[in-house]
């Protein structure tokens, strides 16, 4: 295992008091980093993996409306709701501590995935993985209640090597993605190879930290205030701010940024303030004044760099 990853991994093991073998704990570490890429719910990493035999899949779980589901009871409860556009992503992971890529291991992962998503299975399954295969079957039986008519799938092969560049390895990644697409089971399919740089990035993001750079339309410094070293008021594109700050790479809202806020979105339920906000943005004559009439997003950051027409921030957010 690469030394930098191992230091973070050791801290993770200590934090969650894991007592399994290094390889099993690394499976939990990888699954946790990836799961936190989809949701900011509190996660017990040991719920993402399982004991016993597994046919090339170290972790299997489902992101359903930004929550993690691993059991039949949970998925059945979800589909009992009246909602008919659940956003569901199937996540399958294989993890290796190795610092080298191995095409045979990726091929084994491919075979295990295709067996997992088939109606029947040829491989031997432990009880936990068998239940998760049954969860997948329930999802497919309820595609009429799923956004876009089918779930998405993302399959991650993780190790601690340099990012893959060998044509043979990249070809194995592409073949896996093509096989997933050919099944016709998924609205979108992704096969993703994660080396140490991507894994480190996922780990940092799992700890709630974000950094981004975006263009500013205009800026001005605030007057000096007690306890505040520097502060600015800036005008930015609402679309770019939404894409780079409020949502993640999957287009999902970063729930963590609202944890210390008064509120995130409240429906236009008849309250005077919300109704007036809605009227402003829907009124052709008033919509251009929306930014002036409805502002107040405050970003608190330990690292802000304002240069030319760009601003870099390492951020937490309050609204």
Tens of pLDDT, residue by residue over 173-221, are 999 999 999 999 999 999 999 999 999 988 887 776 567 787 888 877 7
User: Whole-model pTM?
Assistant: 0.70
Q: How does pLDDT run across 255-280, given as a tens digit for each residue? A: 656 554 544 555 555 556 667 777 77
Q: Is the pLDDT of residue 38 over 60?
A: yes
**Cβ contacts of 202 within 8 Å, gap of 6 or more:** 33, 34, 36, 37, 194
> Concatenated DSSP letters for 61-120?
EEEETTEEE-SHHHHHHHHTSS-S-B-EEEEEEEE---SS--HHHHHHHHHHHHHHTSSS
**How far apart are the C-alpha atoms of 198 and 157, rounded to whole Å?**
11
pLDDT value, residue 145: 93
What phi, psi does 311 have (nearest 5°)? -130, 130
The residue among 108 and 240 whose pLDDT is bigger is: 108
Are residues 113 and 180 in contact, defined by beta-carbon separation less than 8 angstroms?
A: yes
- Residues 307, 258, 293, CA angle at the centre, nearest 5°? 65
Q: Percent of the chain beyond pLDDT 70?
A: 81
Residue 305 tokens read as 């760099």
Q: How does pLDDT run across 64-96, given as a tens digit for each residue? A: 987 899 999 999 999 998 888 899 999 999 999
């Amino acid at each position: 295992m690469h030394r930098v990853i191992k230091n973070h991994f050791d801290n993770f093991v200590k934090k969650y008091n894991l007592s399994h073998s290094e390889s099993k704990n690394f499976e939990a570490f990888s699954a946790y980093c990836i799961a936190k890429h989809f949701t900011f719910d509190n996660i017990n990493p040991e719920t993402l993996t399982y004991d016993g035999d597994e046919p090339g899949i170290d972790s299997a779980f489902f992101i359903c409306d930004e929550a993690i589901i691993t059991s039949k009871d949970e998925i059945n409860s979800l589909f009992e709701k009246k909602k008919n556009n659940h956003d569901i992503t199937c996540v399958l992971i294989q993890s290796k501590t190795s610092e080298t890529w191995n095409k045979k291991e990726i091929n084994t992962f491919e075979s295990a995935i295709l067996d997992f998503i088939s109606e029947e299975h040829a491989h031997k399954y432990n009880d936990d993985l068998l239940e998760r295969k049954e969860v997948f079957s329930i999802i497919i039986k309820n595609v009429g209640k799923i956004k876009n008519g089918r779930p998405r799938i993302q399959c991650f092969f993780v190790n601690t090597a340099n990012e893959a560049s060998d044509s043979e390895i990249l070809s194995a990644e592409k073949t896996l993605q093509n096989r997933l697409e050919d099944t016709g089971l998924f609205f979108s399919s992704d096969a993703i190879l994660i080396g140490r740089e991507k894994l480190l990035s996922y780990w940092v993001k799992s700890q709630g930290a974000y950094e981004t750079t975006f263009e500013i339309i205009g800026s001005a410094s605030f007057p000096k205030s007690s306890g505040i070293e520097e502060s600015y008021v800036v005008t930015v594109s609402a679309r770019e701010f939404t894409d780079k700050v409020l949502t993640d790479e999957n287009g999902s809202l970063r729930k963590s940024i609202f944890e210390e806020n008064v509120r995130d979105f409240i429906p236009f339920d008849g309250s005077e303030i919300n109704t007036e906000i809605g009227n402003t943005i829907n009124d052709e004559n008033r919509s251009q004044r929306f930014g002036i009439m409805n502002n107040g997003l405050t970003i608190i950051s330990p690292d802000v760099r304002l240069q030319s027409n760009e601003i870099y921030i390492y951020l937490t957010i309050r609204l």
